[in-house]
Amino acid sequence: MSHEEDNIPDYDSDDEPNKVHQPKNDQMVANHSSFNDFNLKEDLLRSVKEAGFERPSEVQYNCIPNAIHGTDILCQAKAGTGKTAVFVLSVLNQLAEDTPPYSCLVLCHTRELAFQIKNEFKRLGKYTNFKTRAIFGGVEEQDDIAILKQKKPHILVATPGRCLSLINMKNSVIEAKNVKYFVVDECDRVMESIKMRSDVQEIFMKLPLQKQVMMFSGTMSTESKKICRKFMKDQLEIFIEDNAKLVLHGLEQYHLKLEEKQKIPILIQFLNQLSFNQVIIFVNKVERAIYLSKYLQEEKKLENSVIYRTLSQDQRTKVYSEFKEGKKEFQLQLIYSEEVLILKELTQLLILICLKNKMIICIELEEQVVLKQKELLFLSFLLKIMNRF
């Protein structure tokens, strides 16, 4: 099958223009002061309350009333605004007791995000009987196949490559014909990768024509919007692009321009003087992550764990689990990633971000550049990840 975009049914044509609803500062699709106003099932309202959700965010009260009725959704809003809850609650609310397996397929660009989305379905669907599984690279395909044959989840969360590989197998365990709800989270990151975009397109073409499509992202380029619209029909579009809304409430951000030799001493100074429970430090090279981890442990007696791309999935899961459960008195995690956008664009900077008692620190090496709103938004996304721990 060709992977060209023209193979995707293009509903955004001159013959059938999109019906786009974009909220303005003085215009909302709906104004719900409580999750009770959404006509959610009692089991979902119970889990929402237990999760500590008090009032719907702007994104939620614009999207959920439409999403639960099957409307296609294209949504861009800052991290921490509750976009994940939009598609989780909307899908769970529409699933019936006799729903067949693989009724919902959620695609995302990293294994960690797939794991988090799976947990969000489990958290908000804890009083339902719907099963959720996550599949991604780094795990033997035969292990995934064995689990999927045994569990047959109603909701499958996957990275595009692993999902397509299993769908293309003879006598595939994934019953693609059952998919009624198709979600792409962090769609901007997915669509900017030619390989992932191609995989998503091929997966999409193997699904039933009649299905609800929802796509979400913290950032969304003009090109990504154009591509995403090809998957949709009569979609609701929510773009919250107000610059004042690109930073999470209660978030303090600091950045320092430093010489290379200053970075570790200043980092140690921060770690010694500031009060916190958990810290995540991002660096741009595996060697630097390993060195810094060893230095902090041996010279400064700061317990920490280190994670990078070439670790096995079992090792990565172990590190994240220990970090989440707080097994060490001092929680410090060093993460190397060549795939994180911000690490390619921020240089000669030490970025310290504080939210209550949690911090993210990014250390880079080369030339100076100026912080952009997109990078700040991405850092806010990282804080969203931390808040799940």
Write out pLDDT tens, residues 182-218. 999 999 999 988 999 999 999 999 999 999 999 999 8
Q: Does residue 279 sit in the same domain as residue 190?
A: no
The answer to whether residue 174 is domain-embedded is yes
* The last residue of a domain, from among 208, 239, 270: 239
The answer to whether residue 189 is domain-embedded is yes
Q: Provide the pLDDT confidence category of residue 339 given band limits of 50, 70 and 90.
A: very low
Q: Does residue 35 sit in the same domain as residue 151?
A: yes
> What residues contact 120, with CB distance under 8 A and at least 6 apart?
84, 85, 88
Laid out side by side, the sheet with 212-217 consists of 132-135, 155-158, 104-107, 181-185, 212-217, 73-76, 236-239
Q: Does residue 51 sit in the same domain as residue 178?
A: yes
The answer to whether residue 264 is domain-embedded is yes
Split into its structural domains, the chain has a count of 2
Q: Does residue 233 sit in the same domain as residue 321?
A: no
Which domain, by its residues, includes 309?
Answer: 251-387
Of 112, 100, 106, 114, residue with least CA distance to 86:
106
What is the model's pLDDT at position 94? Answer: 97
* pLDDT at position 224 over 80: yes
Q: Does residue 180 sit in the same domain as residue 74?
A: yes
The answer to whether residue 295 is domain-embedded is yes
Q: How far apart are CA 151 and CA 135, in angstroms?
A: 13
| Buried-state track 77-104, b at ≥16 Cβ within 10 A, e below 16 | bbbbbbbbbbbbbbbbbbbeeebebbbb
Q: How far apart are CA 73 and CA 10, in angstroms?
A: 16
The answer to whether residue 76 is domain-embedded is yes
Q: Does residue 186 sit in the same domain as residue 115?
A: yes
> Within 13 Å of residue 217, how many CA atoms lie on the same side as its CB?
23
Q: Does residue 186 sit in the same domain as residue 317?
A: no
Q: Does residue 183 sit in the same domain as residue 322?
A: no
Q: How far apart are CA 381 and CA 189, in angstroms?
A: 13
The answer to whether residue 16 is domain-embedded is no
- The 8 Å CB, 24+ separation contacts for 222-230 are 223/191, 224/187, 224/188, 224/191, 224/192, 225/74, 225/76, 227/5, 227/191, 227/197, 228/74, 228/184, 228/187, 228/191, 229/11, 229/12, 229/18, 229/74, 230/5, 230/8, 230/9, 230/10, 230/11, 230/12
Q: Does residue 118 sit in the same domain as residue 98?
A: yes
CATH of the domain at 345: 3.40.50.300
Beta strand 181-185 with 104-107 is: parallel
Rounded to an integer, what is the distance from CA 219 to the centroid of its chain? 12
Write out pLDDT tens, residues 117-143. 999 999 999 999 999 999 998 889 999
Q: Does residue 235 sit in the same domain as residue 303?
A: no
The answer to whether residue 246 is domain-embedded is no
Q: Which residue has the higher pLDDT, 320 or 90?
A: 90
Q: Does residue 315 sit in the same domain as residue 196?
A: no
Q: Does residue 197 sit in the same domain as residue 329?
A: no
* The last residue of a domain, from among 239, 266, 285: 239
